[in-house]
Structure 1
Amino acid sequence: MTPEAVIFDIGNVLIEWQPERYYDRVVGEARRKEMFAAVDLHGMNDRVDRGEDFTATIYETAEAYPEFRDEIRMWHDDWIELAKPIIPHSVHLLKTLQAKGVPVFSLTNFGIGSFEYAVPFYPFLRDFDRSYISGHMGVIKPDTRIYEMVEQDCGIAPERLLFTDDRIDNINAAKARGWQAHLFEGPQGWAERLVNAGLLTEAEATP
């Protein structure tokens, strides 16, 4: 069945999201491992992605762990360094689909403040036909509710949605709703899936 709309995750699909890599570079692997073992930084980020204040959540966490205060604040102050660079082939696929008139949505675990921070660096984040940002929705993937909210808003039958994400739990949750889904392991595989779905030609899918 040819998809009626294509849905992109953002982190590690359109933009690399590798906080551990950033900290390894800035403070060293040993210090990073010590901090990540002591502090649930990804849990902190989930709170932001559910809609809690970007600055307050991170700074409050930093104050709770004074031995890592400066490093935790970097999650906020140097946030764009954690979320870079773009994945050019994926951005090409996004823009090519749109140029062909295929509706393209985003469905992303992203905070309100962190998203606004990112947009000036990555203007294409404003270009989706519909944007489903978890911070505004108050729920994060893979919670079933976020997929239901997308369906209710866009009005497209689940089996006509084609979704890509780099996390298997998010993909499995989409499949459970009846969505077509592709585990993103690199842009070439995603390009091939879009070609096989009849949405792009091989030439169009090639940057």
Structure 2
Amino acid sequence: MSNPRDDVRLAVFDLGQVLVRVCDGWQDACYRIGIARDRADLNDQETARMTEIIHRWDSGLIDLAQFAEEVAPLRGISPADVLRIHQAYLLGPFEGAVELVDELNAAGLQTACLSNTNAGHWKLMSTRGDPNFFPLNRLTFQFASHLIGCCKPEEKIYRHVEEGTGASGSQIVFFDDRVENVDAAKRIGWHAHVIELDGDPVAQVRRHLRR
């Protein structure tokens, strides 16, 4: 597989919904494990509170136990149920994702992940034999929000990638399923593409790389 552009030297991937399958939101995770009493109708204040808790969790500022304790009353479920939902959220690598990374590496392109994630999910993806295992060490670099201390789309997390890899601006191509994260990458000069949720993400990446 050839480089997408002559100046690109690094391909950066979000993990969830790009290389790794995840549930289609909180309610989908509840459904998958049989929790029917979770509150789906959070008001604006509760939604903002939930977002703030997730941001602290993904930034490594709170642990899983504290996350569960804070989320449980918002969702009307027990902390134990929150832990079950957390465990069920990942659904394993997309077919062809590992092979894609290997092909890019073999073609001379460096690879990296840049994921808003947490210590619990990182451990699941890093544990050989777990259904959610993804060989993160096959990527040249691994960047995770909970280890960096900030989240996409904050500019400093993209700058952290540049500092850690030595690549910058148009030398980087980035794939993410969230428009706001892609827009933030474009603002600092990265080639960046939105991966649509209703299609094969690996095939979408390949199409973008061929253009």
- Report the TM-score, using the length of structure 2 for normalisation: 0.80
Whether 2:139 is the aligned partner of 1:132: answer no
- Report the TM-score, using the length of structure 1 for normalisation: 0.81
What's the CA shift for 1:172? 0.2
Asked if the contact 1:5/1:104 (under 8 Å) is kept, the reply is yes
Instruction: Find the counterpart in structure 1 of residue 35 from structure 2.
Output: 27
> Structure 1: where are the runs of 5+ without partners?
197-207
Q: Mean alpha-carbon deviation: is it higher for 153-162 or for 173-182?
A: 153-162
Whether 2:22 is the aligned partner of 1:17: answer yes
What's the CA shift for 1:49? 0.7
Give me the whole-angstrom Cα distance separating, in 1, the residues matched to 2:86 and 2:56: 15
| SS class of match (1:6) | strand
Shift in CA distance, 117/42, structure 1 to aligned 2, threshold 3 Å: farther
Shift in CA distance, 78/112, structure 1 to aligned 2, threshold 3 Å: same
Question: Share of identical aligned residues, percent?
Answer: 23
The count of aligned residue pairs is: 192
What's the CA shift for 1:182? 1.0
User: 94, 98, 123: which is aligned to 1:91?
Assistant: 98
Alignment of 1:24-63 (within 5 A): 24-25=31-32, 26-28=34-36, 31-34=38-41, 36-37=42-43, 40-62=49-71
Over residues 43-94 of structure 1, what are the superposed CA-to-partner deviations in whole Å (9 max), with x where a residue is unaligned? 422211101233232232156x187242x53343442311113211333312
Asked if the contact 2:12/2:113 (under 8 Å) is kept, the reply is yes
Asked if the contact 1:49/1:134 (under 8 Å) is kept, the reply is yes
Whether 2:195 is the aligned partner of 1:190: answer no
Give me the whole-angstrom Cα distance separating, in 1, the residues matched to 2:51 and 2:135: 25
| SS class of match (1:152) | helix
Asked if the contact 2:17/2:177 (under 8 Å) is kept, the reply is yes
Letter in 2 for 1:195: R
Give me the whole-angstrom Cα distance separating, in 2, the residues matched to 1:16 and 1:42: 21
4+ residue stretches of structure 1 with deviation over 6 A? none
Give me the whole-angstrom Cα distance separating, in 1, the residues matched to 2:174 and 2:85: 30
What's the CA shift for 1:32? 4.3
| SS class of match (1:106) | strand
> Structure 2: where are the runs of 5+ without partners?
none
User: 7, 11, 26: which is aligned to 1:6?
Assistant: 11
Letter in 1 for 2:210: V
